[in-house]
Chain A
């Protein structure tokens, strides 16, 4: 009897230990093998877009879920990465010494100095990480150092998203204004009109998501990850452990900005456009909605939410063009009220509920210690 139970325990603990890696490999196979084989090029491109949002969601899961920083301005970092990539693609397309098409239309005669270095692919790729990273780092030091937090931080980041969009729109000759940057035909040698190359691009997005997921998992599992949770739950107490919470939050916020930047950079070749309308207050909120619905306390929940919600948005909009907003709002309220841990937390909630019910009934019948003795005899 006891040996049987020990064996069952060993299996259970092995299952717990291997569940993560097994799920990861299964999802990787699904995304890298099954999806490209099963989906039409159109659907695959949409999936690639969802995965871009999932990359940004990783950062929100870290900053908001683990660090308690409700960042409503991820569109800014998504945009910085997106524009850095788009500027390079436009220049590569125009050819050496030539101006991007939209500048010609706007009557710009010489290439603005900030555009020049983006001719170099390495510089553009570096900027995809550096622009959002440095912006978030400086902002974090300033804001967290002054102990701005909670709703004040959320409002500040939202205002930043609004201001960023206004600035972009106002710089017609520099950024393409309201239209943004669009009409891309190739991406580092890939022909964006070719179906095979589109599949390659999709795989690049999926692999980047997988690698970033593993990297963020490492951050969450490290001492720093524990420290981040400690800052979320008791920032003032953390000071008396000898850490500066402002620095901890700044690092997490910077990582989240970098993930949004990378997401934006991949979004550009996948969707073929980057424009202010994709970065403002509403899109930034939608990033956060998705993470809340999926489950903000785990990175997997954040990724799941981004894919589910954006899939839902596409599918639903195809049938009822105006219904999505209402459904999204209802979904958000339902999750906040009944499943604060999101879709991914529902299973755990159900398990806890069942255990609690059984726990209330069980001791009245046979105390656990008795069962142990009975088994030994």
Chain B
């Protein structure tokens, strides 16, 4: 579960001794993390735990103060965002950013075409490539392919982002809160999409929605105040008193005052960890 494959093979992603300091605030404080090829890993933790910052560092958006990021045996330190993508690391954003004036299909097509050289880019797109069609189909956006992305709903935008990510054919996918703001139905669809993607890809998901994590996560890393609190499978993480404390810490006192039984369970359900 820590990402080290029994054969001793190098993990796909290895983050060592990582620290990020913003104006004296340690957003990340000595994090070590390894993700093995083929793994589906969830990063959870309360607000401000450093989950998104960690993804930002891996993808070159934020420079680390200390520590190294290794991907597929080579360091990513110092690379710019598009160079990290070219190494095979792709990501989505909490608030999906798609190109509203381009059609859904054009959005995906651009994501699929970044390996082209300039002369090839200067040619017109002829029809829809099989690859783009497959990705659109998988994300359930085939019927909307020719609509401008600006007309999509919030949930559809997230799926378009995932479709764009898939079209890049990355070796590692980093999804930042893919179900934030989604309806129950949309969350379910996203979960199914995620499971399907994880069959063929290495995926790291930052997630806040504990119900979603419980349903789909097997391996979980818990971050708290910029450090790794614990790692393991969902059951052991849930049982860890430290995890319960960081999630429920502030409400412990009030909970003590509540009657023991069904109400307390319901309270915990609301807080996120059961």
Which A residues have a C-beta under 8 Å from some C-beta of B? 218-219, 221-224, 226-227, 229-230, 233-234, 237-244, 251
Interface size on B, residues (CB 8 A): 31
B81-114 interface code vs A (CB 8 A; 1 in, 0 out): 1100110001101000101111000100111011
CB A308 to nearest CB in B, in angstroms, measures 26
Taking A230-B102, A233-B101 as given, write out 6 further A-B residue pairs in contact, using a Cβ cutoff of 8 Å, ordered by the A residue number: A223-B113, A223-B116, A223-B124, A240-B82, A241-B164, A244-B82
- CB-defined contacts of A243 to chain B, threshold 8 Å: 82, 110, 114
Which one of A218, A233, A242, A244 lies within 8 Å of B124 (CB-CB)? A218
- Interchain Cβ contacts within 8 Å, total number: 74
Given contacts A226-B102, A230-B102, A218 and B81 within 8 Å (CB-CB): no
- CB-defined contacts of A223 to chain B, threshold 8 Å: 109-110, 113, 116, 120-125
B118 touches A224 (CB 8 A): yes
B111 touches A241 (CB 8 A): yes
A241 touches B85 (CB 8 A): yes
- CB-defined contacts of A224 to chain B, threshold 8 Å: 118, 121-122
A230 touches B91 (CB 8 A): no
CA distance A221 to B102 in the complex (A): 12
Identify the closest chain A residue to B60 (Cβ): A239
B121 touches A234 (CB 8 A): no
A239 touches B102 (CB 8 A): no
CA distance A241 to B99 in the complex (A): 12
Given contacts A226-B106, A230-B102, A233-B99, A240 and B90 within 8 Å (CB-CB): yes
B81 touches A240 (CB 8 A): yes
Which one of A233, A241, A242 lies within 8 Å of B100 (CB-CB)? A233
Residue B59 at the chain A interface, CB threshold 8 Å: yes
A241 touches B118 (CB 8 A): no
A221 touches B124 (CB 8 A): yes
A227 touches B121 (CB 8 A): yes
Identify the closest chain A residue to B81 (Cβ): A239
CA distance A227 to B124 in the complex (A): 12
- CB-defined contacts of B109 to chain A, threshold 8 Å: 223, 226
CB A358 to nearest CB in B, in angstroms, measures 19
B110 touches A226 (CB 8 A): yes
A239 touches B85 (CB 8 A): yes
